[in-house]
Structure 1
């Protein structure tokens, strides 16, 4: 699974990106870090540190696997986008 939905509870799915043996949960905090990476000078090493990854290679892998529409979704709109997706799937 590159990008997918992980069922942690019956109520709300959690969106994750798998990088090697890690699963990075996509939430407002993660999107804030990605947005910071996009809009200011930040290397892949610093991105890896902020995401809890083991090095720039894993950060690069994460960026390749995350869908572009998620990268460009403002973090403040993430919960509305998730609600829209859940409604669409139901």
Structure 2
């Protein structure tokens, strides 16, 4: 079965986020009153596997080994069966 996978990666609370700070300052200069800014990376892909549980295990491994640094990043995984 084919599954659509989306992984959202963000910095953990308390980690400095210069990209978000720059965006927040630029928005303020444009006159927008933004109090909190955060940035996330979204990685989307599809996988062929026998079960959603196998997909989840493989994606967890991908996150730990390649997609993010578990020391400074949090991540959320969304898995959906692909409709034919």
TM-score by length of structure 1 reads: 0.28
Q: Counting strand residues as a fraction of each chain, which structure ranks higher?
A: 2
Structure scoring higher RCO (CA < 8 A, sep ≥ 6) equals 2
TM-score by length of structure 2 reads: 0.29
Q: Counting helix residues as a fraction of each chain, which structure ranks higher?
A: 1
